[in-house]
C-alpha cells in the first residue's frame, strides 16, 4: 500500500469522524440524540405530542 | 340540524366512534384559543351533526386545552350529548357523566369497549344503570362496530323528537344543598338564568371549577361571587366529590353482574395487594431492580461480554494487525485501526450483552403490567416532593435515554412541574453510562457488581428527588398535575413483544457505535497521538496528556491521580459511551481484561466509586443539553443544567472521597 493510499484512508476516517461530530452537534441543537435516525415506539408517541413552551 | 356532542374521558375510543358514526369529516379546525383539533362530522343521510370534544376526566379543567369542553357547555347548547365511557373503567368515567347529567341536557351514555368488560367476568344491568342515572344507557365496541346501528338510530333524531332529560339530582350534604338552592334561586330571579343551567352553574362554581368561576366574574354573577370564600372555607368541593363517588359506588354495586369465573382478575388483585402495598411496594421495586442488575452484570451479561471481548481482542485484532502489516499500512494507520477503532469502538460493543439483558428485563416488566404499578408506588414519594407519579414515567424512560425521558415530560400539564422534571431527568442513569460502570465494577467490585450499579441508579434517583424538592420550593410551584394511571391486568410477557422492545431500545446503542462512539474514538486517538509538533510515539507527550495533567489538581480531591480518566471524561460530553472507548485508547490496552487490570491498579475502591458518582451526575451529553434547550425554549436552562450538574457531581464525589478517606 503506497503512502498516498495510507494518507487517503487516514484522512477518510478522520473526515468521517469529524462529519459525525458535526452531525451530532447539529442534531443536538434540535433535541435529538445520535441514535435518532429511526423512530422507536416511545419516540413515535412523543413526537405526536406537542411541545409546550414554559 | 340536530347537534350531538361526543364527550368522554381520554382513551375511551371516542374518536374511533366518531369516525365510525360520521362517514367523513365535514370540518377539521382548531378550538378557539388553543391548538386542540376541532372535528365536526355529519351522520350520512341525516340532519345530525356530530362534534368530537377533546377527552377530559372532569369539567374542572387543569389545562387550557381541557377548558375547551367546559367552555363549549357554557356557550353552546348541543341538542344531545353522547357520553362515551370505557366500560372497564366505569367508576372513574361516571365522575364526568354525573357532571354532564347535572346539566339537564339530553344525554345518552354508551359503555364502549364492552368486550374488555366481559373478558374481566363482569357486566352491568343496563336497566338499573339507566334508572339510577336517569338517561338511556347503551353498549358498544367501536373497533368491531358492535352496537353502532343502535347508537346511530338514537342519534338520528329530529330536534323536536329528542326527549328532554331532567337534571340528575344527587343527595349532597345539607349545607351544600342549601348553598346550591340559594344560589340557583338568586340566579333565576335576579339574572333570569334558566333554572336547570343556574343549578349546574352553582354546583360547578361551588366545586371550584376555574372556567365557571371566570364565567361568573365576566357576567358579574354576584350571588356566586359573594359566597366564594364561604364555599372554599367549608371545603364544599371535597363534599361534592365524596357524594358523587358514593353514588357511583352504590349504583355500580347494584348494577354489577358476574358473568363467569374471575380467577384472572382475582390473581391480579392478589398480586396488587402486595406489589402496591404502601410499605412493601418500594422494597419490592428495589428488589426487582436488584434482580435486573444481577442478571445483567453477574449472571448473564458479564459472562457473555467476556466471551465477546476474547473474540474481539484475540482473533479479530490479531488478524486485522497482520492484514494491515501485509498490505503495507503505515504504523499510524495500523494504530488508528487496531488501537483506536477496534479497541475503542469494539471495546464498547463488548458491553452489548449487559445492555441488552437490562433492556430485556425492562421490556418484561413493561409487558407484564408491572411498570404502571411502579409509577403508582413511586407516586407517594413524588407527592412528598411536590411532583406526582406522572413525573415518574419520564424519569423511568430516562433510564434508557435522557433525551426521550426529557421529551416524555411533555405529558405533564403544569409548566413548573414540567420544568422541574426536565431539569432532574439528566440525573437518571441512562444506558450509555453502563459500559463505564461495567468496567469499574469488574475491576474493583467483582463480587458486588449488581449492588454497586444498583446503588448508583438509586443515588441518581435520590439526587433527582432532592433537586426536585429544591426547585419546587424555589419556583413556588402550587398547582399540581393530576396523576391517573390505569392498571392493566398482569399477564405472562410475550416473547415477540419482549424481543421487539429489547431490540427497539438496544439498536440505538449499536447505531451509536457506528456514529458518535466511532467519532469520539477517532478524536481521542488524535488527541493521544499528536501534540503541537506533530505525531508522537509517547502518549505522555500528547494533547490528551497535557489537557489531563492541567486538570489533574482539580480532580485529585475526588481521588483521581492519573490524567487518563480526566481526558476520557471530557469526551463523555459527545456521548457517555465514549468515556469507555476513550479509556481503552488512552490506557493503550488491546482488550477489556487488560483495561480492567490497569483500572484496578490506578484506583482504590473508594476513588473508583467517587469517579462513578461523578460520571453519573456530571455534564449531560450534547443531545441532552440540546433537548433541554429545545423543550424549555431557552438556552438559559440548558446552560444552567450544565453548570449545576457539574457542581453537584463534583461536590458529591468530593464528599464521598474525603469522608470515605477519613473513615478508612
Parallel, antiparallel or unpaired: strands B107-112 and B80-86: parallel
Nearest chain A residue to B497 by CA: give it. Answer: A41
CA distances from B336 to B73, B324, B577, B582, B632 (A): 69, 11, 19, 13, 40
Is B488 among the domain residues? Answer: no
What are the chain A neighbours of B523 within 8 Å (beta carbons)? 17, 21
pLDDT score, position B197: 92
Nearest chain A residue to B418 by CA: give it. Answer: A54
Average pLDDT over residues B62-88: 85
Is residue A54 scored above 50 in pLDDT?
Answer: no
Q: What percent of chain B has pLDDT over 90?
A: 37
What are the chain B neighbours of A3 within 8 Å (beta carbons)? 330
All three cell numbers of B220: 358579574
Is residue B359 scored above 60 in pLDDT?
Answer: yes
The residue among B459 and A54 whose pLDDT is bigger is B459
In this structure, what DSSP letter does residue B146 have? B
All three cell numbers of B100: 354532564
* B253 and B116 part of one domain: no
The residue among B538 and B608 whose pLDDT is bigger is B608
All three cell numbers of B566: 480526566
All three cell numbers of B131: 334508572
Is residue B174 scored above 80 in pLDDT?
Answer: yes
Residues B581-591: tens digit of each pLDDT? 898 888 877 67
Residues B506-519: tens digit of each pLDDT? 888 888 888 889 99
What are the chain A neighbours of B621 within 8 Å (beta carbons)? 28, 33
Domain final residue pick, B134, B161, B188: B161
Q: Look-up: residue for cell 414540567?
A: B418
Alpha carbon B88 to its chain's center:
23
Do residues B284 and B274 touch, judged by C-beta distance below 8 A? yes
What are the chain B neighbours of A26 within 8 Å (beta carbons)? none
* B187 and B299 part of one domain: no
Q: Is B111 helix (H, G, I), strand (E, B) or coil?
A: strand
What are the chain B neighbours of A11 within 8 Å (beta carbons)? none
pLDDT score, position A47: 56
Do residues A24 and B624 touch, judged by C-beta distance below 8 A? no
pLDDT score, position B168: 92
Q: Is B380 helix (H, G, I), strand (E, B) or coil?
A: helix
Q: Look-up: residue for cell 457506528?
A: B514
pLDDT score, position B12: 82
Residue B114 labeled ligand binder: yes
Nearest chain B residue to A36 by CA: give it. Answer: B508
Question: Which of B610, B632, B576 lies closest to B402 in space, CA to CA?
Answer: B576
B575 CB near a chain A CB, below 8 Å? yes
pLDDT score, position B643: 96
Query: Cβ neighbours of residue B289 under 8 Å, at least 6 residues apart?
Result: B454, B457, B458
* B330 and B351 part of one domain: yes
B52 confidence band (pLDDT: 50, 70, 90): confident
Cα separation of B58 and B96, whole Å? 5
For residue A44, give how far its alpha carbon lies from the nearest alpha carbon of chain B (Å): 10
pLDDT score, position B64: 66
Domain final residue pick, B161, B187, B222: B161
Is B624 among the domain residues? Answer: yes
* B147 and B210 part of one domain: no
Do residues B367 and B483 touch, judged by C-beta distance below 8 A? no
For residue A13, give how far its alpha carbon lies from the nearest alpha carbon of chain B (Å): 8
Query: Cβ neighbours of residue B441 under 8 Å, at least 6 residues apart?
Result: B297, B448, B449, B452, B453
Cα separation of B563 and B568, whole Å? 9
Is residue B30 scored above 70 in pLDDT?
Answer: no
pLDDT score, position B485: 67
Question: Which of B71, B92, B96 lies closest to B82 in space, CA to CA?
Answer: B96
Contact A25 B622 (CB under 8 A): yes
* B213 and B315 part of one domain: no
Average pLDDT over residues B174-190: 93
* B234 and B296 part of one domain: no
Contact A6 B330 (CB under 8 A): yes
pLDDT score, position B513: 86
Is B102 among the domain residues? Answer: yes
pLDDT score, position A31: 62
pLDDT score, position B243: 94
Contact A10 B526 (CB under 8 A): no
Do residues B347 and B587 touch, judged by C-beta distance below 8 A? no
pLDDT score, position A17: 92
Identify which of A1, A17, A49 has the shortest CB distance to residue B518.
A17
Contact A31 B518 (CB under 8 A): no
Q: Tell me phi and psi for residue B590, to 5 degrees.
A: -90, -20
Do residues B54 and B81 touch, judged by C-beta distance below 8 A? no
What DSSP string describes B267-298?
A: HHHHHHHHHT-TTTHHHHHHHHHHHHHIIIII
With 0-12 / 13-18 / 19 or more C-beta atoms within 10 angstroms meaning exposed / middle / buried, residue B24 is exposed
Residues B304-335: tens digit of each pLDDT? 888 888 888 778 888 888 898 888 888 888 88
Query: Cβ neighbours of residue B189 under 8 Å, at least 6 residues apart?
Result: none
pLDDT score, position B534: 86
Do residues B361 and B343 touch, judged by C-beta distance below 8 A? no
* B471 and B571 part of one domain: yes
Cα separation of B8 and B27, whole Å? 20
Contact B519 A6 (CB under 8 A): no
* B184 and B157 part of one domain: no
Residue B55 labeled ligand binder: yes
CATH code of the domain containing B254 = 1.10.287
Residue B10 labeled ligand binder: yes
Question: Which of B457, B468, B280, B463 lies closest to B383 in space, CA to CA?
Answer: B468
For residue B341, give how far its alpha carbon lies from the nearest alpha carbon of chain A (Å): 10
B26 confidence band (pLDDT: 50, 70, 90): very low
Cα separation of B209 and B71, whole Å? 11
Is residue B375 scored above 90 in pLDDT?
Answer: no
Is residue B261 scored above 70 in pLDDT?
Answer: no
* B601 and B557 part of one domain: yes
What are the chain A neighbours of B501 within 8 Å (beta carbons)? 41
Residues A5-50: tens digit of each pLDDT? 889 999 999 999 999 989 888 877 766 666 555 455 455 555 555 4
Residue B12 labeled ligand binder: yes
Is B499 among the domain residues? Answer: no
Complex ipTM above 0.85? no
What is the per-residue burial (b if ≥16 Cβ within 10 Å, else e) of B575-607? bbbbbbbbbbbbbebbbbebbbebbbebbbbbb
Contact B511 A34 (CB under 8 A): yes
* B528 and B592 part of one domain: yes
Cα separation of B359 and B454, whole Å? 15
Is B486 among the domain residues? Answer: no
Residue B36 labeled ligand binder: yes
The residue among B648 and B119 whose pLDDT is bigger is B648
Query: Cβ neighbours of residue A5 under 8 Å, at least 6 residues apart?
Result: none
Is B487 among the domain residues? Answer: no
Residues B482-508: tens digit of each pLDDT? 666 667 777 778 787 788 778 877 888
Residue B9 labeled ligand binder: yes
In this structure, what DSSP letter does residue B219 have? T
Q: Which range, B32-46, B61-75, B519-533, has the best average confidence (pLDDT)?
A: B519-533
Is residue B33 scored above 60 in pLDDT?
Answer: no
Is residue B653 scored above 90 in pLDDT?
Answer: yes
* B227 and B251 part of one domain: yes
Domain final residue pick, B115, B133, B161: B161
Is residue B32 scored above 50 in pLDDT?
Answer: no
What are the chain A neighbours of B415 within 8 Å (beta carbons)? 52, 54
Kindly report the average pLDDT of chain B as a whole number.
86
Cα within 13 Å of Cα(B296), Cβ side: 29
Provide the angle, in degrees to the nearest 10, between the axes of the packed helices B236-255 and B195-206.
110
B392 confidence band (pLDDT: 50, 70, 90): confident
What are the chain B neighbours of A50 within 8 Å (beta carbons)? 35, 410
B380 CB near a chain A CB, below 8 Å? no
Is B96 among the domain residues? Answer: yes
pLDDT score, position B34: 42
Contact A31 B574 (CB under 8 A): no
Do residues B638 and B626 touch, judged by C-beta distance below 8 A? yes
State how many domains chain B has. 3
Q: Is B206 helix (H, G, I), strand (E, B) or coil?
A: helix
Cα separation of B630 and B186, whole Å? 51
CATH code of the domain containing B33 = 3.40.50.300
Question: Which of B583, B590, B582, B595 lies closest to B315 in space, CA to CA?
Answer: B590
- Interface list for B 8-47 with A (CB within 8 A): 35
Residue B91 belongs to what H/E stretch? helix B90-101
pLDDT score, position B37: 57
Q: Which residues of A touch B (CB under 8 A)?
A: 1-3, 6, 9-10, 13-14, 16-18, 20-21, 23-25, 27-38, 40-43, 46, 49-54
pLDDT score, position A52: 43
Question: Which of B63, B51, B47 lies closest to B14 in space, CA to CA?
Answer: B51
Is B441 among the domain residues? Answer: yes
With 0-12 / 13-18 / 19 or more C-beta atoms within 10 angstroms meaning exposed / middle / buried, residue B253 is exposed
Do residues B120 and B96 touch, judged by C-beta distance below 8 A? no
The residue among B81 and B389 whose pLDDT is bigger is B81
* B228 and B303 part of one domain: no
pLDDT score, position B187: 92
Cα within 13 Å of Cα(B195), Cβ side: 4
Residue B404: give the domain boundaries. Answer: 284-479+505-663
Do residues B531 and B542 touch, judged by C-beta distance below 8 A? yes
Average pLDDT over residues B430-458: 90
How many other CB atoms are there within 10 angstroms of residue B284's CB atom? 17
Helix H, strand E, coil C: the string for A1-54 is: CCHHHHHHHHHHHHHHHHHHHHHHHHHHHCCCCCCCCCCCHHHHHHHHCCCCCC
Is residue B25 scored above 50 in pLDDT?
Answer: no
Amino acid at each position: 500500500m503506497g503512502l498516498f493510499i495510507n494518507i487517503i484512508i487516514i484522512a477518510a476516517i478522520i473526515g468521517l469522524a469529524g462529519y459525525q461530530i458535526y452531525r451530532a452537534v447539529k442534531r443536538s441543537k434540535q433535541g435529538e440524540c445520535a441514535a435518532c435516525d429511526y423512530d422507536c415506539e416511545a419516540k413515535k408517541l412523543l413526537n405526536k405530542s406537542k411541545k409546550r413552551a414554559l | 340540524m340536530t347537534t350531538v356532542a361526543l364527550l368522554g374521558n381520554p382513551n375511551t375510543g371516542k374518536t374511533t366512534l366518531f369516525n365510525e358514526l360520521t362517514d367523513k369529516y365535514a370540518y377539521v379546525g382548531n378550538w378557539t384559543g388553543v391548538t386542540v383539533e376541532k372535528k365536526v362530522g355529519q351522520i350520512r343521510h341525516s340532519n345530525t351533526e356530530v362534534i368530537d370534544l377533546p377527552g377530559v376526566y372532569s369539567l374542572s379543567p387543569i389545562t387550557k386545552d381541557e377548558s375547551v369542553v367546559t367552555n363549549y357547555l357554557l356557550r353552546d347548547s348541543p341538542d344531545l350529548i353522547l357520553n362515551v365511557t370505557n366500560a372497564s373503567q366505569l367508576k372513574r368515567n361516571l365522575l364526568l357523566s354525573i357532571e354532564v347529567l347535572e346539566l339537564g341536557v339530553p344525554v345518552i351514555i354508551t359503555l364502549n369497549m364492552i368486550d374488555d368488560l366481559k373478558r374481566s367476568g363482569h357486566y352491568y344491568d343496563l336497566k338499573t344503570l339507566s334508572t339510577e342515572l336517569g338517561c338511556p344507557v347503551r353498549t358498544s365496541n367501536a373497533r368491531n362496530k358492535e352496537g353502532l346501528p343502535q347508537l346511530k338510530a338514537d342519534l338520528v333524531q329530529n330536534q323536536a323528537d329528542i326527549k328532554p332529560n331532567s337534571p340528575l339530582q344527587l343527595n349532597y350534604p345539607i349545607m351544600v344543598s342549601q348553598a346550591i338552592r340559594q344560589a340557583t334561586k338568586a340566579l333565576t330571579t335576579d339574572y333570569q338564568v334558566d333554572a336547570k343551567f343556574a343549578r349546574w352553574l352553582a354546583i360547578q362554581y361551588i366545586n371550584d371549577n376555574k372556567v365557571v368561576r371566570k364565567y361568573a366574574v365576566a357576567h358579574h354573577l354576584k350571588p356566586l361571587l359573594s359566597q366564594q370564600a364561604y364555599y372554599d372555607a367549608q371545603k364544599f368541593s371535597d363534599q361534592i366529590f365524596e357524594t358523587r363517588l358514593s353514588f357511583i359506588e352504590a349504583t355500580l354495586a347494584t348494577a354489577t353482574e358476574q358473568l363467569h369465573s374471575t380467577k384472572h382478575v382475582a390473581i391480579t388483585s392478589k398480586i396488587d395487594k402486595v406489589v402496591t402495598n404502601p410499605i412493601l411496594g418500594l422494597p419490592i421495586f428495589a428488589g426487582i431492580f436488584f434482580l435486573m442488575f444481577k442478571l445483567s452484570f453477574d449472571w448473564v451479561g458479564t459472562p457473555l461480554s467476556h466471551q465477546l471481548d476474547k473474540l474481539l481482542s484475540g482473533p479479530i485484532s490479531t488478524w486485522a494487525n497482520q492484514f494491515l502489516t501485509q498490505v503495507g499500512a503505515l504504523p499510524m494507520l495500523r494504530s488508528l485501526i487496531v488501537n483506536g477503532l477496534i479497541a475503542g469502538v469494539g471495546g464498547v460493543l463488548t458491553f452489548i450483552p449487559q445492555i441488552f439483558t437490562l433492556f430485556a428485563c425492562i421490556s418484561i416488566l413493561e409487558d407484564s403490567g408491572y411498570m404502571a404499578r411502579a409509577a403508582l408506588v413511586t407516586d407517594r414519594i413524588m407527592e412528598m416532593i411536590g411532583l406526582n407519579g406522572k413525573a415518574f414515567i419520564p424519569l423511568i424512560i430516562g433510564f434508557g435515554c435522557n433525551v426521550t425521558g426529557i421529551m416524555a415530560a411533555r405529558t405533564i400539564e403544569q409548566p413548573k412541574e414540567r420544568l422541574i422534571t426536565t431539569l432532574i431527568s439528566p440525573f437518571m442513569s441512562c444506558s450509555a453510562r453502563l459500559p463505564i460502570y461495567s468496567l469499574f465494577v469488574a475491576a474493583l467490585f467483582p463480587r458486588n457488581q449488581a449492588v454497586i450499579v444498583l446503588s448508583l441508579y438509586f443515588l441518581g434517583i435520590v439526587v433527582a428527588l432532592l433537586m426536585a424538592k429544591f426547585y419546587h420550593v424555589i419556583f413556588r410551584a402550587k398547582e399540581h398535575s393530576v396523576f391517573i394511571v390505569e392498571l392493566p391486568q398482569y399477564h405472562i410477557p410475550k416473547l415477540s413483544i419482549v424481543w421487539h422492545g429489547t431490540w427497539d431500545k438496544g439498536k440505538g446503542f449499536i447505531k451509536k457505535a457506528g456514529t458518535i462512539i466511532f467519532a469520539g474514538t477517532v478524536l481521542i486517538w488524535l488527541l493521544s497521538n499528536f501534540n503541537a509538533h506533530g505525531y508522537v510515539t509517547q502518549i505522555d507527550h500528547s494533547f490528551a496528556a497535557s489537557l489531563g495533567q492541567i486538570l489533574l489538581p482539580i480532580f485529585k480531591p475526588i481521588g483521581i491521580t492519573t490524567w487518563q480518566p480526566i481526558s476520557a471524561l471530557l469526551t463523555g460530553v459527545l456521548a457517555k459511551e465514549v468515556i469507555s472507548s476513550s479509556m481503552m485508547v488512552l490506557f493503550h490496552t488491546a482488550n477489556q481484561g487488560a483495561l480492567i487490570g490497569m483500572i484496578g491498579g490506578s484506583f482504590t475502591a473508594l476513588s473508583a466509586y467517587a469517579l462513578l458518582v461523578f460520571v453519573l451526575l456530571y455534564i449531560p451529553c450534547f443531545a441532552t443539553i440540546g433537548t433541554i434547550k429545545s423543550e424549555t425554549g431557552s438556552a438559559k436552562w440548558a446552560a444552567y443544567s450544565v453548570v449545576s450538574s457539574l457542581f453537584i457531581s463534583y461536590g458529591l464525589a468530593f464528599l464521598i472521597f474525603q469522608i470515605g478517606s477519613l473513615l478508612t
